[in-house]
Amino acid sequence: MSDTIAETGSDTHDDHHPSDLQYVKIALVLAAITAVEVFSYFKSVLDWGDFLIPSLLGMMVVKFWLVARMFMHLKQDKPLLTGLFAGGLGLAVAVYIVALLAFQFWG
Amino acid sequence: MTTTATVAVKTHRDPHETNTGISNNKLAMWLFLGTECLLFGGLISTYLLYKTRGNGEVLPTDIFDIPFTSVSSFVLLMSSLTMVLALSAINRGELERSRAWLLTTAMLGGVFVGGQVYEFTTFVREGVGFTTNPASSAFYTLTGFHGVHVSLGILMLMSLVVASVQGKLKQSNAETVEIIGLYWHFVDIVWIFIFTVIYLIPAE
């Protein structure tokens, strides 16, 4: 009987969401990364040189990934949702890289 | 007995059950967010193309106030935390706590929008209006569209707060909070992108 219920259940995700404390820890990590990003703006303190742009892009990706995966629960939800979002994001990035390159060469 | 029970369960399906196992409302929100990536991708690309085209006038990048925008960014980032805490509370059936977190999220969003209005006002005083040059037009369009998204999010959050005060928001409505939360987190991650690419990465 319990097998049958499990088989026909319509759960959209498992219920192993992070605890409130884990959410706070994730937010602290996000805040720390933001602090480092802002710190990079003050070149008089430390000049990041050629590492500035790759570092900023890397930190941006980590923040993006943490919010999408943990706060939007993509980690726990069905992979289809990750596919939908990644599909939209990937399409946007691909289309606009092509557009930007087109302007670079023929603009 | 087991067979009968199995048949009974299989024939009496949940009317909200879907083939994907994901509710239609939630699936629709994720699809919507996927398309929003294209919208903001277009606006960000346009800004990147035009950010140095000032026609001899002041560029937005010349008058960015990074410390001020950093505080706004931090506020919006923390609103994602309060949003997820609101969802967590309603999932546990703690309705009053959920309402308090929803209200806090809306207030943090209000602070962000207020900061954006202040920034726009300062820019106009500095001589950078919407039609001053292509760079300023692209900047106002991008950040303005984002501000409109945050404002709509605040309206949705406040409607949840009002429903909660009226006793219409129950534990069984947790998915509604989750779906509005998805929209709110999306608005936050778009700003994560804008803050780095538009504000922090220096123009040529």
Angle ∠(B143,B146,B148) on CA atoms, nearest 5: 110
Burial class (CB in 10 A: 0-12, 13-18, 19+), A19: exposed
Read off φ and ψ for residue B95, nearest 5 degrees: -70, -40
Q: Inter-chain contact B37–A11, Cβ cutoff 8 Å?
A: no
For the four alpha carbons of A44, A49, A53 and A56, in that order, the dihedral sign comes to: negative
Q: Inter-chain contact B185–A89, Cβ cutoff 8 Å?
A: no
Q: Say if residue A7's pLDDT is above 60.
A: no
Q: Say if residue B11's pLDDT is above 90.
A: no
Q: What percentage of residues in chain A have a pLDDT greater than 90?
A: 47
Neighbours of A64 (CB within 10 A): 17
Give pLDDT, residue A99. 84
Q: Say if residue B18's pLDDT is above 90.
A: no
| B59-75 mean pLDDT | 93
Q: Inter-chain contact A41–B66, Cβ cutoff 8 Å?
A: yes
Query: Tens digits of per-residue pLDDT, B128-187?
Result: 999 999 999 999 999 999 999 999 999 999 999 999 999 999 999 999 999 999 999 999
Q: Give me Rg for the CA atoms of chain A.
A: 20
Q: Say if residue A14's pLDDT is above 70.
A: no
Task: Enumerate residues 120 to 159 of chain B having a beta carbon within 8 A of any beta carbon in chain A.
Answer: none
A/B interface, count of CB pairs below 8 Å: 144
Q: How far is B149 from chain A (nearest CA, A)?
A: 17
List the single residue in A with minimal CA-CA distance to B34. A88
Secondary structure letter of residue A24 according to DSSP: H
The better pLDDT of the pair B3, B53 is held by B53
Confidence (pTM): 0.87
Contacts of B27 in chain A (CB under 8 A): 80-81, 84
Q: What percentage of residues in chain B have a pLDDT greater than 70?
A: 91
| A69-86 mean pLDDT | 91
Contacts of A77 in chain B (CB under 8 A): 22
| A58-86 mean pLDDT | 93
Q: How confident is the model at residue B12 (pLDDT cuts 50, 70, 90)?
A: low
> What is the per-residue DSSP string for chain B?
-HHHHHHHHHHS--TT--SSSS-HHHHHHHHHHHHHHHHHHHHHHHHHHHTT--TTS--GGGG--HHHHHHHHHHHHHHHHHHHHHHHHHHTT-HHHHHHHHHHHHHHHHHHHHHHHHHHHHHHHTT--TTS-HHHHHHHHHHHHHHHHHHHHHHHHHHHHHHHHTT---GGGHHHHHHHHHHHHHHHHHHHHHIIIIIISPP-
Give pLDDT, residue A5. 38
| A70-79 mean pLDDT | 91
Give pLDDT, residue B15. 56
Give pLDDT, residue A3. 42
Contacts of B188 in chain A (CB under 8 A): 67
Q: Say if residue A12's pLDDT is above 60.
A: no
Give me the interface pTM, i.e. the ipTM. 0.86
Q: Region of A49 please: left (phi>0), alpha (psi -120 to 50) or beta.
A: left
Q: What percentage of residues in chain B have a pLDDT greater than 90?
A: 80
Q: Inter-chain contact B200–A40, Cβ cutoff 8 Å?
A: yes
Q: Which of B23, B38, B200 has the CB atom closest to A12's CB atom?
A: B23
